[in-house]
Amino acid sequence: MAHRQNYIKKRGSLREAAQEANAPMSQSLSSGLSGLNQLADQVQESVPTQMYAPPMARRALANIAPPPGQPDRTRAGGGQAAPDSGRDTTPFTGTAGMFFYTVPDGQRVLSTDSSGTIEVIIGPGKVLRYGKRFQAMQHYVAHPGEFLIVRYRDGRQEHLSGPSECWFDPRDHLSVEKQDAVQIADKEAVVVYAEDADGQVTRRIVYGPATFVPGPAEWLHTFSWHGPAADGSARKVPGAMVFQKLWQMPDQMYHDVDEVRTADDAQLTVKLMIFFELTDIERMLESTHDPIGDFVNAATSDVVEFLSRRDFDAFKADTDKLNEIETYKQLTARAAQCGYRLNKVVYRGYAAPPALQQLHDQATQNRVRLQLERATERQAQEIVDQKLELELARGEKNRLEEERAQGHKLTMQERALAAHLSSDAQRRAASREQKALDEQAVEVSEAARQAREREHLADLKAMGVDLTALLTQSRADKVIELRGDARAHVHLPPDVAG
C-alpha cells in the first residue's frame, strides 16, 4: 500500500513536470529535459515498471521489439538462435523507461522515428523514447577457423575471416551467415575457381597446411569419383566418393576383377590391391575427371589380357607375376597420364564359380593329402637317418675322445720321462762338473804343495843337506832287512805289500 501511495505522489509530480515542459518556448529546453530525466530515473529506481506502469507506458513497452533470436521480454513465446548460425546468443538487456530507452554497453539498437528515419544507437547510451520505435540489432560473430558471408541489398557479397563481427543493419544487409573455413592439412590441396569482373574464370591450387577462406567470387572444385560400393565389397561404383580435398600422400584401394575367363574357359574373379600416389594435380585436372575409374578400367584390361593367354593350371603357376608392376602396362601408362605414380600392385588371390571351386578344392585336398603323406614318410626317413647319423657321430665323438685322452696320457708320460731324463742329465753334468772342479782343486793344491816342497828342498840343498838321505829317511813304515847270500823267498801279507 505504501508503494501505491508513493507512486501516486510521484505521478502527480510527473504531471506537473509535463505541464512545465509545455510552457512557453522561452523556458530553457535543456533544463526541462534534465528535470524530466531525473524524475524518470527516480521512478525507475523506486517503482517496478512492469507492475505499476500506467496503461500508456505499458502500450509503449509493447511497441519495443526484442532482439531477433532472443525471447520476447513483454509477451510469451519467442524464438532461439540456431547454435551454428554465427548469431551472438548473449541476452539483450536494453530497458525501456517511461521517457527514455537505455542501450547497455556492448549492444546496439535501431531507432526509427515517426518520419521513418533509422538511426543506429551504440551502447552505452540513453535516448528519449517518445515517438520512436526501437529494435535490437542482430550481432554475428566468426571465430578463428570461421568466416561470415555478408550479403548486401545492392547485390554485393563480402566474406569476413574470423575473428570478425557484423551488426545486421536491414538498411544495407540482406543476410549474414557463418561458415567454417576450409582446413587444409599437410599433403592436401584444394582446387579453387575464381571469376573476375569480366566474367573470366581462372583456376588455382591451394596447398596445405593452410586455412582457406574463399572470396565472394570463388568456389571449390567438387570431385566425384568411383568408390567402394555400399555393400562393403571391393566393387567400385561411380560417384561413391564426393569430396573437395585432394590427398597427395600414398594411397591404396581394393579392386576385384570379376568374371575373367582363362584360355580354357575357366571363369575367375581376381582380387588386387593397388598402391598409388598423386604427384601432378594440374595434369590430373587436364587429363581426367575420375582417375579411380580409369585405374579400375586399366587394371581390368591388364588382368583380362593376362588370363586370356593362360589356362587355369598355368594361371595358378604364374600368379606370382600378378605382383609385378611390369604385368600392368596399361595401368602404369594411364596412371602416368593422370598425374599419378603407380607404386605397387598386390595380388590378393582369386575366386572361382562353385563347381570349379569344388573341383579345385578336391584336387587341392588330394594334392595336400599326398603332400602330407610324402612329407610324413620323408620325415620318418629323416628321423631314421638322423638317428643313424647321431649314432655315428656319437661313436666318432667317443673314438676321438679316447684318442684325445690316450694322446694326452702319452704326452704327459713323455713329458715326465723327458723331465726325469733331463733331471738325471743335469745331476750327472753337475757331478761331472763338481768332480772336475774337485780334481782341478786337488791338482792346484798338489801343484802348490810340490812347488813349496821343491822350494824347501832347494833351500836345504843350498844349506848342504843330503837330500837323498833326507828323502829316504823314515820313508817306509816298516823296514825288513834280509842278510845272507842265499836267495830267500819273501811272502808279504797283503796289507804290508800294499
Helix (H, G, I), strand (E, B) or coil at 458: helix
Q: For 11-50, b where at least 16 C-beta lie within 10 A, e where not — what string?
A: eeebeebeeeeeeeeeeeeeebeeebeebbeebbeebeee
Q: Select 224-352's CATH number: 3.30.479.30, 3.40.50.300, 3.30.420.40, 3.30.70.260.
A: 3.30.479.30
Q: Are 148 and 170 in contact (CB under 8 A)?
A: no
Compute the distance between CA of residue 154 and CA of residue 381 in angstroms, rounded to an integer.
Answer: 97
- Give residue 74's pLDDT band: very low, low, confident or very high (50, 70, 90): very low
Residue 382 has pLDDT above 90, yes or no: no
Residue 72 has pLDDT above 50, yes or no: no
Neighbours of 330 (CB within 10 A): 15
Q: What is the pLDDT of residue 354?
A: 72
DSSP secondary structure string, 69-137? TS--SSSS------TTS-B--PPP--EE-SSEEEE-TT-EEEEE-TT--EEEEESSEEEE-TT-EEEEP
Residue 33 has pLDDT above 90, yes or no: no
- Give residue 16's pLDDT band: very low, low, confident or very high (50, 70, 90): low
DSSP secondary structure string, 39-77? HHHHHHHHS-HHHH--HHHHHHHHTSBPPTTS--SSSS-
Only one residue has cell 598425374, namely 339
| pLDDT higher at 437 or 353 | 437
Q: What is the pLDDT of residue 12?
A: 53
- Give residue 230's pLDDT band: very low, low, confident or very high (50, 70, 90): confident
> What tens digit of pLDDT does each residue of 274-332 get?
999 999 999 999 999 999 999 999 999 999 999 999 988 889 889 999 999 999 999 99
Percent of the chain with pLDDT over 90: 40
Q: What is the pLDDT of residue 232?
A: 78
Percent of the chain with pLDDT over 70: 77
- Give residue 497's pLDDT band: very low, low, confident or very high (50, 70, 90): low
Q: What is the pLDDT of residue 390?
A: 87
Only one residue has cell 575373367, namely 260
The arithmetic mean of pLDDT across residues 373-384, rounded, is 88
> What tens digit of pLDDT does each residue of 409-435 get?
888 888 888 888 888 888 888 888 888
The arithmetic mean of pLDDT across residues 382-393, rounded, is 88
Q: What is the pLDDT of residue 139?
A: 94
- Give residue 235's pLDDT band: very low, low, confident or very high (50, 70, 90): confident
Q: 218-224 long-range contacts, Cβ below 8 Å, gap at least 24?
A: 218/192, 218/193, 218/194, 219/192, 219/193, 220/182, 220/190, 220/191, 220/192, 220/193, 220/244, 221/190, 221/191, 221/192, 221/193, 221/285, 224/290
Domain ranges across the chain: 1-47, 182-220, 224-352
Q: Are 96 and 40 in contact (CB under 8 A)?
A: no
Q: What is the pLDDT of residue 78?
A: 34
> What tens digit of pLDDT does each residue of 441-468 get?
888 888 888 888 888 888 888 888 777 7
DSSP secondary structure string, 236-271? EEEEEEEESEEE-S-EEEEEEEEEEE-TT--EEEEE
CA gyration radius, the chain: 65
The arithmetic mean of pLDDT across residues 88-115, rounded, is 90
Residue 439 has pLDDT above 90, yes or no: no
The arithmetic mean of pLDDT across residues 115-125, rounded, is 91
Q: What is the pLDDT of residue 296?
A: 94
Only one residue has cell 726325469, namely 420
> What tens digit of pLDDT does each residue of 135-186 get?
999 999 999 999 999 999 999 999 999 899 999 999 999 999 999 999 999 9
Compute the distance between CA of residue 388 and CA of residue 85 in angstroms, rounded to an integer.
Answer: 88
CA distances from 32 to 21, 25, 35, 39 (A): 6, 11, 5, 11
Q: What is the pLDDT of residue 435?
A: 86
